[in-house]
Structure 1
Amino acid sequence: MSATLSTARLRLAVRDRCLVDALDLQIEPGQVWCVLGPNGAGKSTLLRTLAGLRDPDGGHVLLDGRDIATWKPMDLARRRGFLPQSVVDAFSLTVIEAVTAARHPRLPFWAWGDEDLGAVRAALARFELGNLAERDITTLSGGERQRVNIAALFAQDVGVMLLDEPLSSLDLHHQMKTLQELVLASRAGRAVVFTVHDINLAMQHATHAVLLGGHGGALAGAKEAIVTPAHLTAAFHHPIRGITIDGELFFRAARLTDKRT
Structure 2
Amino acid sequence: MSLELTANALRLTMRDRELVRGLDMRVAPGDVWCVLGPNGAGKSTLLRTLAGLRPADGGRVLLGGRDVESFPPIELARRRGFLPQTIVDAFSLTVMEAVMSARHPSLPFWAWGESDTAPAVDALHTFELEDLARRDVTTLSGGERQRVNIATLFAQDVELLLLDEPLSSLDLHHQMKTLHELMRVATEQGRSVVYTVHDINLAFQHATHAVLLDGRGGALAGPKDDVVTSEHLSAAFHHPIHGVMLDDELFFRAGRLNGTPP
Q: When the two structures are superposed, what TM-score results if normalisation uses the length of structure 1?
A: 0.98
- d(CA) in 2 for partners of 1:132 and 1:78? 27
Mapped contact 1:36–1:209 kept (Cα < 8 A): yes
Q: Which runs of 5+ in 1 are unaligned?
A: none
| One-letter amino acid of the structure 2 residue matched with residue 232 of structure 1 | L
Counterpart residue number, 2:194: 193
- Identity value in percent: 69
1:159-217 deviations in Å (ceiling 9; x for gaps): 00000000000000000000000001101110000000000000101000000001111
Alignment of 1:1-261 (within 5 A): 1-187=1-187, 188-257=189-258
- d(CA) in 2 for partners of 1:256 and 1:157? 45
Shift of 1:2: 4.0
Mapped contact 1:2–1:160 kept (Cα < 8 A): no
1:76-129 deviations in Å (ceiling 9; x for gaps): 000000000010001100000000000010011121121211110000000000
How many residues in Structure 1 have an aligned counterpart in Structure 2?
259
- d(CA) in 1 for partners of 2:69 and 2:190? 24
- d(CA) in 1 for partners of 2:2 and 2:109? 24
Q: 1:176 to 1:38 in 2, by over 3 A?
A: same
Shift of 1:258: 8.0
Partner SS, residue 104 of structure 2: helix
| One-letter amino acid of the structure 2 residue matched with residue 140 of structure 1 | L
Mapped contact 1:4–1:64 kept (Cα < 8 A): yes
Give structure 1 regions of 4+ aligned residues with deviation exceeding 3 angstroms: none
Mapped contact 1:124–1:133 kept (Cα < 8 A): yes
Mapped contact 1:239–1:254 kept (Cα < 8 A): yes
Mapped contact 1:2–1:191 kept (Cα < 8 A): no
1:2-45 deviations in Å (ceiling 9; x for gaps): 41111111000001110001111100110000000000000000
Q: Which moved more, 1:113-122 or 1:80-89?
A: 113-122
Mapped contact 1:31–1:208 kept (Cα < 8 A): yes
| One-letter amino acid of the structure 2 residue matched with residue 136 of structure 1 | D
- d(CA) in 2 for partners of 1:132 and 1:163? 23
| One-letter amino acid of the structure 2 residue matched with residue 46 of structure 1 | L
Partner SS, residue 61 of structure 2: strand
Partner SS, residue 3 of structure 2: coil
Partner SS, residue 25 of structure 1: strand
| One-letter amino acid of the structure 2 residue matched with residue 195 of structure 1 | T
1:129-177 deviations in Å (ceiling 9; x for gaps): 0000000000000000000000000000000000000000000000000
- d(CA) in 2 for partners of 1:128 and 1:113? 22
| One-letter amino acid of the structure 1 residue matched with residue 230 of structure 2 | P
- d(CA) in 2 for partners of 1:218 and 1:246? 31
- d(CA) in 2 for partners of 1:23 and 1:57? 12
Q: Which runs of 5+ in 2 are unaligned?
A: none
- d(CA) in 1 for partners of 2:6 and 2:90? 33
Q: 1:95 to 1:179 in 2, by over 3 A?
A: same
